[in-house]
Amino acid sequence: MMKSKLGALALITASAIALAGCSSGAAGGEAASGFDAAGAKGQDITFWVMGGDTPQELRDYLISEYKAATGGTLTIEEQSWGDALTKLTNQLPDAKNTPDVTEIGNTWSPTFTNAGSFTDLSPIYDDLGGDKLLKSFVEVGEVDGKQYALPYYFGSRYITYRKDIWDAAGLTVPTTLDEFNDDVAVLKTSSQSGFYLGGEDWRNGVSWTFANGGELATKDGDTWKSSLSDAKTVKGLEQFQQVFSDASNAPVTEKDSTPWVNINNDRDGAAPEAATMIAPGWAHWSVGDFTGDKVDDAGQVVLDANGAPVETRTWNDATFGVFPLPGNDGKPAPVFAGGSNLAISKTSTKQAGAKELLRIVFSSEYQQMLGKNGLGPANTDEVSSLGDDQFATALIDSALHSKLTPAAPGWAAVEGKSYLEEFFGKVAAGGDIKALAKEYDEKIDKIING
């Protein structure tokens, strides 16, 4: 009884606040689609982050800043990348269960923005950074010139290699892709991959396609078409097939995984599995000499999702080095940009609070915090916060030439059906590239336009 009375009281208070918010918003002449600081007062909102990429320090900052700005509580829920697409699909349309703000893989953005899952952010776009926000990420979240999803952070893939192993073989940092392909082939032995690349790891494998001017899909008028059979794409795929068989001991079935474990000596000092790997920029925190298991504040060993202890690794310049994957034109090869976008769920009943959170995310302070943690900030003015060490340099160099997946409405379905894992896996296994490309072009064309 007491509870329901309290509940009723809370409801009345909440509606009073909401009503107050409405009236003051109207008085300010501000349309509902812009910021509404008064309306945001006391709104408790939920923010979904994907995986562990947003460090705890940044989460704490968001929660305390949100409290200071609105008095409301920000709940941050971490979703695993593997389930996120399904959870978003199921919960975004449901006002009772939707996250108010969500991080979203940039390659999924077009599907959701075209379907109308997100709030139109164009009224606040300029306030959040406008033209200064990373262009390719803004574009992937645009429909008819309106922004529905904005960049959160970017990463880019670059090469991490074992200086000691490369030196011992008398090799130096390659300047062209052909040279790279030859070098890593030399380094392969039965117990060591010259270059660790999974067969189904299309997100890294596609770099060879991009480097040869190939694309995964192209837009003709209003329709997207899968372009795996394109001559340039095929040429890149042939190189990928060659590199995989010449340099990698990874299984055909290996996906976008945790390649850094292969380049480290194991915790007992045993030789690494690989001399070279490619991974998103934030991987360098996991590369280095083993310096004990990670312990939390209470002195407990931290375990990963598989129940194994999380190792702490300390970078060692004598053993490890980084460079962007070189192209054959003297510039870094275009790699697949990693990173995320941010959006507000259209069904959320707390639009005002959600927009206040975006204001905090796109503030200069938070953008710099992203950079200091090795995540490419959305606002290009803040890129310098990444620093000027070798990681920042490799990240920025490779990001400048990075590409995104096609902004096609059906792209999330293409990824959902794992067509590209399947296709790259079959190519890596030595399949007939032209026949496979034709087969998968047909499959992808059926769903790429939504």
**Residue 70: CB minimum distance to another protein, A:** 28
Tokens of 185: 């082939």
Query: What is the C-alpha to C-alpha distance for residues 422 and 333, in angstroms, rounded to an integer?
Result: 24
User: Do residues 449 and 410 lie in contact, with contact meaning Cβ atoms separated by under 8 Å?
Assistant: yes
Query: Which of 423, 444, 445 is closest to 435 using CA atoms?
Result: 423
Tokens of 289: 């000499």
Of the pair 106, 117, the CB lying nearest another protein is at 117
Residue type, 28: G
User: Do residues 264 and 196 lie in contact, with contact meaning Cβ atoms separated by under 8 Å?
Assistant: no
| DSSP code at position 313 | E
Of the pair 175, 253, the CB lying nearest another protein is at 253
Of the pair 59, 255, the CB lying nearest another protein is at 255
User: Do residues 110 and 415 lie in contact, with contact meaning Cβ atoms separated by under 8 Å?
Assistant: no
**Residue 447: CB minimum distance to another protein, A:** 7
Buried b / exposed e over 330-352, threshold 16 CB at 10 Å, is eebbbbbbbbbbbbbbbbbebbb
Residue 229: helix, strand or coil by DSSP?
Answer: coil
| DSSP code at position 353 | H
Of the pair 186, 252, the CB lying nearest another protein is at 252
- Report, in this order, helix, strand and coil percent for the chain, each rounded to 5: 45, 20, 40
Task: Please compute, for residue 135, the number of CA atoms within 13 A of its CA located in the half-sphere on the CB side.
Answer: 5
**Residue 136: CB minimum distance to another protein, A:** 22
User: Do residues 169 and 186 lie in contact, with contact meaning Cβ atoms separated by under 8 Å?
Assistant: yes
The DSSP annotation for 167-179 comes to HHTT----SSHHH
Question: Mutual orientation of helices 351-361 and 56-70 as an angle, nearest 10°?
Answer: 130
Of the pair 86, 291, the CB lying nearest another protein is at 86
Tokens 């030595």, residue located: 430
**Residue 367: CB minimum distance to another protein, A:** 29
Run of H or E including 368: helix 364-372
| DSSP code at position 256 | S
Of the pair 211, 413, the CB lying nearest another protein is at 413
User: Do residues 118 and 344 lie in contact, with contact meaning Cβ atoms separated by under 8 Å?
Assistant: yes
**Residue 267: CB minimum distance to another protein, A:** 12
Q: Per this entry, what is the length of the chain?
A: 450
Binding region for another protein (CB under 8 A): 82, 85-86, 89, 92-93, 111-112, 114-117, 200, 251-253, 255, 273, 306-307, 409-410, 412-413, 416-418, 421-422, 425-426, 447, 450
Tokens of 339: 């990173």
Question: Would strands 217-220 and 157-162 be described as parallel, antiparallel, or unpaired?
Answer: unpaired
Tokens 């292969």, residue located: 262
Tokens of 205: 């494998």
Of the pair 198, 326, the CB lying nearest another protein is at 198
Of the pair 117, 379, the CB lying nearest another protein is at 117
**Residue 117: CB minimum distance to another protein, A:** 4
Task: Please compute, for residue 114, the number of CA atoms within 13 A of its CA located in the half-sphere on the CB side.
Answer: 17
Of the pair 170, 307, the CB lying nearest another protein is at 307
Of the pair 117, 340, the CB lying nearest another protein is at 117
Of the pair 232, 255, the CB lying nearest another protein is at 255
Tokens of 20: 């107050």
